[in-house]
Structure 1
């Protein structure tokens, strides 16, 4: 088939690789003039790592990323709020902290046609026949046998499915940057510190990237979107002083931050769909299911979407049947994460102090209960499927993880 992919983020990159390898002719349209990653770092779960294994880039990802074995959150006084360890899910299980630049480069290297991406081409619409695309200069592209919209949480193509249930911005966002890891005391843990739900500081080890051998941490600071400009106008020093009070070790990691411009802003959306496709148009990644970052599943979901779409097109002879299969398979998995992301967000990003107090008291004990612990760990690893099911990882992939752990 002749396939158009809109957007060259993780979902678009993975879709381009997988569909091209199956013999389809893939054209990618990217609005940026220069190809590159957007964002600091992320945590890949075993489900996402399995897709990288199938793409043939797992070894390179492991070489650049940083193995994460524990997720720990506490209050400034040292009271534990969250403590989850991958070993409780399986002895060979772990997450992988990565810089977005590292994954972007590995996926770009895996697709031989990357130089043919239509750069600086912003697609704004789809014709009623869902076979033609229009860019912001009025030019039409096509016809295509399939249009894969991977244009992110702010997707301009989502509406063309005529299946949008909800599409609203979250009031809270984050500031982020990459900092040298240095002598950080927790090189295999995601560490977070909370002040009620009003403030959250996080540091995630994300390893290196091609061309830069300095191990780094991804730093983030939770902030209401409406306060971004106020924070910038207040200047850097009062904010750094506050971090020094709340978390001295984190403050030392920021010694090279000289200006507010060194930190990027991130905002999020909550988008749910009745339908992920219409005729020859289909959504993947955040375009299909944008959610808050509380569960850290965005990159994992994008990779899994691309793989599921490839598998559905292999299994069905008709495009419409393949897209039905793709949505059925992925929506069953994604829905539980959208549910928990929506309900957990006020516990960590809001001004609801009473709810935050309840979190501090009850979250850790719930995670120690046999039923609660198993559910939390499956949600963490991306293997929860519905409220009661679980996704099975492939035995060959688990052997690859075991071999890596044995090194």
Structure 2
């Protein structure tokens, strides 16, 4: 297709959400053109967690084996007190978990998941991938949608699927809700060789995923790349830990100064050259209008506490493709059906992520109450996560 030719579906944003949506549409037989603003298709970041709700979709799309080839399957998810080192609770993710949800919980490098989706799109024969196209203007008329890029090129399509992230230009066109919400927390992320941690005792559970929780801070650790690397995410509330503000390294280490040796060993190895503010938005309706709809962070950005940002974007792709198939030739009806199914689901994930962040970061009597309540839970008590991991994405789910 030439840039001036129209295509049934135009996807903006070549991250995990955009690729998943494009691939889901392609698997259903639809031609897709995908625009990415960066000069090449690549994923930034380190590790990510994938629950069974997303694994189902990846399996359906035919990429699960490629993704899990270098993934790590933890035997349990563990919550520990960052100050005392005490184990607060564990959730078994082995055989009983797989029997319950049909798939194991796994952790992977973001680049590996992105690459698997990218290759599948390339091999589908129905997805045209075009990098170096920053969207400057979006216009809609009776014939569909027109996108003008910063370099002057224009693309037209019957329908636009915007997977262009937290600051989505398409969202600004559809929903007037201002800037994202800044939680006050920031995250430091990175991977280190697993052997750099274990000699120091910094990886307490090498076969599991651990969240060390403390007052207004936490550290997540889990192996990736078949256990060769450890992904670490340290999070602090900059409103509480104000010492050394502006010095990324000093502020992080001051915040974690009272944590146990296991945690401090991990913190000592973190890259402090960059950190990410933790932003989200309150749930909102109106993602879909006419021939335009949103997926992933463009529609429902969420805090990271449930590890569901990428998972929900992947679910979006499956539900979108199903809605299109259920409303052949009627893009507006398909997009409305897609939002009707997805909005309650993603709204619950967004709001629950905020609440879970509060639980992780309590102090004082709240910290003691959390320990007491969690102590009563068994390792195979899956009732609390049934709604999250048992979900089967699609318009009939």
1:402 matched to which residue of 2? none
Q: Which residue of 2 aligns with 1:160?
A: 173
In the other structure, the counterpart of 2:338 is: 326
* Aligned counterpart, 1:81: 88
Change (3 A) 1:232 1:216: farther
Between 239-248 and 352-361, the greater mean CA deviation after superposition: 239-248
RMSD of the alignment, in Å?
3.2
Inter-partner Cα distance in structure 1 for 2:73 and 2:361: 27
SS of aligned partner of 2:45: coil
Structure 2 CA distance for aligned equivalents of residues 191 and 27 of structure 1: 40
Q: How far, CA to CA, are the matches of 1:327 and 1:17 in structure 2?
A: 19
CA distance in 2: counterparts of 1:159 and 1:85, whole angstroms = 42
Scaled by the length of structure 1, the TM-score of the pair is: 0.80
**Is the CA contact 1:170–1:270 (under 8 Å) kept in the aligned structure 2?**
no
1:157-201 Cα shifts (integer Å, max 9, x gaps):
2122237599423221211101112344523311121222x1211
Match in the other structure for 2:296: 285
- Is residue 2:187 matched to residue 1:174? yes
Aligned to 1:386: none
Partner SS state of residue 273, structure 1: coil
- Identify if the C-alpha distance between structure 1 residues 269 and 229 changes in structure 2 by more than 3 Å, giving closer, same or farther: farther
- State how 1:230-309 maps to structure 2 within 5 Å: 230=244, 233=247, 235=249, 239=252, 246-252=259-265, 260-261=272-273, 264-309=275-320
Alignment match, 1:200: 218
> Using a 3 Å threshold, how does the CA distance of structure 1 residues 393 and 27 change in structure 2: closer, same or farther?
closer
- SS of 1:74's partner is strand
Listed as ranges, the gaps of 5+ residues in structure 2 are 1-6
Q: 1:27-176, aligned counterparts within 5 Å? A: 27-75=33-81, 76-87=83-94, 89-91=97-99, 93-112=103-122, 117-129=129-141, 131-137=145-151, 139=152, 141-162=154-175, 164=177, 167-176=180-189
**Cα distance change of structure 1 residues 292 and 250 upon mapping to structure 2, 3 Å threshold:** same
Structure 1: where are the runs of 5+ without partners? 209-213, 384-390, 395-407
Query: Aligned equivalents of 1:180 and 1:74: distance in 2?
Result: 22
Aligned residues: 372
CA contact (8 A) 1:167 1:269 kept: yes
Structure 2 contact 58–64 (Cα < 8 Å) conserved? yes
Residues 103, 168 of structure 1: alpha-carbon distance in 2 compared, 3 angstrom cutoff: same
Asked if structure 1 preserves the Cα contact closer than 8 Å seen for 2:57 and 2:393, the reply is no
* Residue in structure 1 matching 2:232, options 215, 219, 227: 219
Q: Secondary structure, in 3 states, of the residue corresponding to 1:47?
A: helix
Aligned equivalents of 1:313, 1:247: Cα separation in 2: 52
Per-residue Cα deviation, 1:275-318 (whole angstroms, up to 9, x for no partner): 22010100011111111111111111111100111111111121
Distance 1:252 1:324 in 2: 50
Q: Is the 8 A contact 2:185 2:277 kept in 1?
A: no
1:181 and 1:253 in contact (8 A); partners too: no
Assess if the C-alpha contact under 8 Å between 1:180 and 1:253 holds in 2: no
Structure with greater helix share of residues: 1
Q: Secondary structure at the match of 1:342?
A: helix
2:4 maps to which residue?
Answer: none
